[in-house]
Structure 1
Amino acid sequence: MTATVFDAFTAAAGQWGERPFLCILPDTAAAYGIAPGELAYRDAAHRIDALRDAYSAAGYGTGHRVGLLLENRPAFFLHWFALNALGVSVVPINADLRAAELEYLIGHSEIALAVALPQRHADLAAAAERAGRPLRIMSDGDTPPPAAFPAPLAGTALDELTECALLYTSGTTGRPKGCMLPNRYFLHAGRWYANIGGLARLMPGEERMVTPLPLVHMNAMAYSAMAMLMTGGCLVPLDRFHPKRWWANVREARASVVHYLGVMPAMLMKADASPEDRAHSVRFGFGAGVDRTLHAAFEARFGFPLLEAWAMTETGAGAVVIANHEPRKVGTSCFGKEASDVEVRIATEDGSDADIDEPGELLVRHAGDDPRYGFLAGYLKDEAATAEAWTGGWFHTGDVVRRDADGHLHFVDRKKNVIRRSGENIAAVEVESVLQQHPLVKAVAVAAVPDPVRGDEVMACIVPQQPLADRRAMEAAAEELVRWTLGELAYYKAPGHVAFVDSLPLTATNKIQRGELKALAPTLVGAPECVDTCALKKRQETAT
């Protein structure tokens, strides 16, 4: 029986050997400085076996964690599967992370090795020194250096519950949490997608799936990669979403399936209509968050359904819901009905079950004997947070939804204090902790404000140490604060708006009143005391 992701890939290579597993388009190849083309399952298997042997010889084994800072390159998959064969858990590292984030990730995850782009080696070494952790660093193609310390679980048999990956989510009340994801998490995600059918039916040996989503997130790593692996399909990972080149990439890839974030349809609809809008072979899109006012118009224009789904890093496919059957109730933020293997509760503030069309927090669990089947194993080094998330035997998602009279689920809002910008979850407290360290700042509170393209944008409300004399002083201070943040956090977490205020809404115990802040922040956009800093939020390019 297949027990690990490596086992699943080995089985796929045996069945689909000559078929392509990965396709790298010329645009993506140029962005990465690598060769374009396809990599067959059998050829990938040979490279994975060689890597596995090299890692084994260097002393890596069960219980080790290895960071992968490789973006969406084929190398990510090869190293992941090779390490998985040895019981090593991989920790995907977002290439946008900067000093403070890297220091925390290295210290918290205790990775023994980082396989990274050469231009990020110095950053990783500096972060490891700040974290006080021993860390070996290598590039793809290097011989693995000897392990920094012995494998903590050497000799332990590998199975579905062996940790496969550690994925970090945004921390809603503090630092990002590390989700320990076992082999079962990925295997179940692939099997779920391969078998859900309906409008999302996958045809074995025939699919070509394009995803611009990053491999540091569960969608691309669990759903996209594992679904193609389970069905002998070809995955076409892009370096990122490029609106002007999207349809050319889709056509060149001969894509039958695309994965999307809600921001993507909105950007694609801004382009002028073209006779080539339907010149593609896409049967469906899989994603979440499409603007309900654009949903029907997009499908009518481009000729395929956008299947809205709900899941979290924590839930995996253990509790996933997707609108893959009609009626999908397009234009209502509907994400379907739960299948028979998922149980759902919608709880009001007092803990009672919500009535029809009454909003409440979404609680989920897997049906059957094991309510945690397919979920994360737990939060690393945070048993209290794991127990809290599972209060009462249900996983508390922090998302507010409603169920209509027909039993369909509709997304309403997020209960948690998270900013959702272009598909990235941003913890307000993480941005606040960085800004608070700047000498200009006396107090700070961060909230989401609406953005027509990105969904949310980051607003920082700043009480300055000293009054700012005029608009010019405000602009200079705002730029300094944003550049400070860009040095510590990923670019998308930096404030897109900085408002200088006399005071913050606080509770009697001097905690930020998040409800009042949420209402206040949008009213400050465009005000004289608010500086628009969106233009400063540029991705820090990684040289090839």
Structure 2
Amino acid sequence: MTSIFDQDLPRNPANFAPLSPLSFIERAAEVYPQRLAVVHGDLRRTWSEVYTRCRRLASALARRGVGKGDAVAVMLPNTPPMVEAHFGIPMSGAVLNALNTRLDAESIAFMLDHGEAKAVIVDPEFAGVMKKAIALRKNSRPLLVVDVSDALFTGTVEPIGEAAYEDFLAGGDPEFAWEPPADEWDAIALNYTSGTTGNPKGVVYHHRGAAVNAISNILEWDMGRHPVYLWTLPMFHCNGWCFPWTVAARAGVNVCLRKVEAQAIIDAIKTHGVTHYCGAPIVHGMLVNAPDEMKKGLPTGVKAMVAGAAPPASMIEGMERMGFDLTHVYGLTEVYGPATVCPKHDEWNDVDIGERARLNARQGVRYHLQRDARVIDAQTMKPVPLDGETMGEIMFRGNITMKGYLKNKAATDEAFGGGWFHTGDLAVQYPDGYIKIKDRSKDIIISGGENISSIEVEDVLYRHPDVLAAAVVAKPDAKWGETPCAFVELKAGASVTAQDIVAHCEKHLAGFKVPKAVVFGELPKTSTGKIQKFELRKQAGSAAAIDV
């Protein structure tokens, strides 16, 4: 039966429009045409100029036959063309595929083939690896290659494409009449997962999810108009957690950064009055551990967002000393980057740093515009008790969840089993509703039949004043099946023995949870700063892991 509220009340263009983050840049250019939008070295561009360039890019792609359903790959660092790609490519109807700039040629070739890229835009720094990747493609379909130039790139590289980026844009119409998607479910971006085993999976984002996550970013940070956002987080990673679209929505400033280095970050914050930035723990740790002389003159009140691992007490304390405001978020590629946040409460300021770190280290509660995030028993598909002890799997549902995995129905069906997105992260949920990860299902160490959370042991290791980074994995053991093996990266100048590390852990952990082996050295990390545990698992069974 039709409701009286539906009779003679049709959906039409006057009362309904599909959600898309592309509308954000259109508004920024209309309302704040002369406001600064992009900073890159000596380059300055306004929102009007950036919008015009995005329309030119969309037009130029369309004139080369790129349109709806076509993938356009980009191999770019955090530079102005990468900002433009987030708008210009989907304005043409195409799907943006931002490639991880640290991948090898074989991985890139797989992604170009799997995503059926019709064009690729390449920064000169990555021309060599891209040339190899193109040669390795199995798809014989023609590929339009566009070369970018950058005044801040100091190397010498031969162009590999048929067009230079600026010439390509010049051939596009500055008044290109782009249209929002007819359906907000249309794909806007394709992002590949890490692919630690086998080929990576292609995660497809839709316009609706990109728009609502971009807005949620604003709400979680109470972000006012015209923020100055520093690009420390790679834009190829979950589309920079949707912040290219967030910054446009607030008509802010994109401060571009080719390389993430402590001096460059600190200089940018001082020079441009940076108000916000995001990054993995390693980025924040880099600033905390930078020499005091380098940090002299840093402004206070900078808002920092951290994800990738729970921030240890030493990081929270270090950020507080710098006067930075740290917000902890959690998510995955499949949920557009962050989809939960750990909102701080005023009463947390009254507890000691250890307790504040424990509270802030939780993954928190759902993002504003995510429908739900909860810890669920994967067998019964019922929520676990909110007791902070019963373990289950973190699951999401709502608009901030991918369409699915490209060309992989089996993996998509498995990921969405029971009407929830299954993260594979094991966690508990506290009486206040806050979620706390205990481990990845594959990272739980089972020693003598007892479950050991690697994250719990890592939290203790981070409390040691000389530990810069730590990771714990299972080490095969003839008697116990497996035991914890700690990989520790020390702060510069520190002198600590394996016995010191074990003695520290014994003060805070039950005996069976204490690492039975310790390995010192720099930890292998992904391009986004996440520690590569699969590499450490390989090492844990070798002679490098010394029993203590």
Q: Give the number of aligned pairs.
A: 426
Code of the aligned partner of 1:452: E
Residues in 2 aligned to 1:298 and 1:278: alpha-carbon distance in whole angstroms: 16
Matched with 1:386 is: 412
Distance in 1 separating the partners of 2:531 and 2:217: 35
SS of the equivalent of 1:320 reads strand
CA contact (8 A) 2:59 2:92 kept: no
1:111-510 residue pairs with structure 2 within 5 A? 111-118=117-124, 120-121=126-127, 123-133=129-139, 134=141, 135-140=143-148, 141-142=164-165, 158-171=182-195, 173-196=197-220, 200-205=221-226, 207-218=227-238, 220=240, 222=242, 224-273=243-292, 279-288=298-307, 289-316=309-336, 319-326=339-346, 330-332=356-358, 333-338=361-366, 341-348=370-377, 350-351=379-380, 353-355=383-385, 356-358=387-389, 360-366=391-397, 371=398, 373-416=399-442, 450-452=487-489
Q: Single out whichever of 300-309 and 340-349 deviates more from structure 2.
A: 340-349
1:295-334 Cα deviation digits (max 9, x unpaired): 4412331112211011111112794333254456631122
Q: 1:46 to 1:300 in 2, by over 3 A?
A: closer
Residue matched to 1:7: 23
The percent identity for this pair of structures is 20
**Is the CA contact (8 Å cut-off) linking 2:342 and 2:362 kept in structure 1?**
no
| 8 Å CA contact 1:361, 1:397 repeated in 2 | no
- Tell me how far apart the structure 2 counterparts of residues 16 and 195 of structure 1 sit (CA, whole Å): 21
Give the AA of the match of 1:379: Y
Please state how far the C-alpha of 1:77 moved relative to its aligned partner.
Answer: 2.0
3-state SS, counterpart of residue 166 of structure 1? strand
Is it true that 1:54 corresponds to 2:60 in the alignment? yes
State the one-letter code of the partner of 2:24. A
1:37/1:281 CA distance change after superposition, 3 Å: farther
Rounded Cα–Cα distance in structure 2 between residues aligned with 1:156 and 1:204: 24
Root-mean-square deviation over aligned CA pairs: 3.9
Corresponding residue SS for 2:265: helix
Using the size of structure 2 for normalisation, the TM-score is 0.68
Extract unaligned runs of 5+ from structure 1.
27-35, 146-154, 421-427, 429-446, 455-484, 500-516, 529-544
| One-letter identity of the residue aligned with 1:139 | D
> 1:271 is aligned with what amino acid?
A
1:416 shift after superposition = 4.3
Residues 69-148 of structure 1 mapped to structure 2, 5 A cutoff:
69-118=75-124, 120-121=126-127, 123-133=129-139, 134=141, 135-140=143-148, 141-142=164-165
Stretches of structure 2 that go unaligned for 5 or more consecutive residues are 1-16, 149-163, 170-178, 349-354, 445-453, 456-472, 474-483, 492-523
Task: Indicate conservation of the 8 Å contact 1:62/1:156, yes or no.
Answer: no
Indicate conservation of the 8 Å contact 2:319/2:325, yes or no: yes
CA contact (8 A) 1:317 1:375 kept: no
C-alpha distance in 2, partners of 1:304/1:402?
A: 29
1: CA distance between counterparts of 2:415 and 2:203? 12
Kindly tell me: are residues 293 and 119 of structure 1, through their superposed partners in 2, closer, same or farther at Cα, counting changes over 3 Å? closer
Please give the per-residue CA displacement for 1:164-214, whole angstroms capped at 9, x wherever unaligned.
110011235531111111112221111112233xxx211113x11113111
Report runs of 4+ in structure 1 exceeding 6 Å deviation: 417-420, 489-499
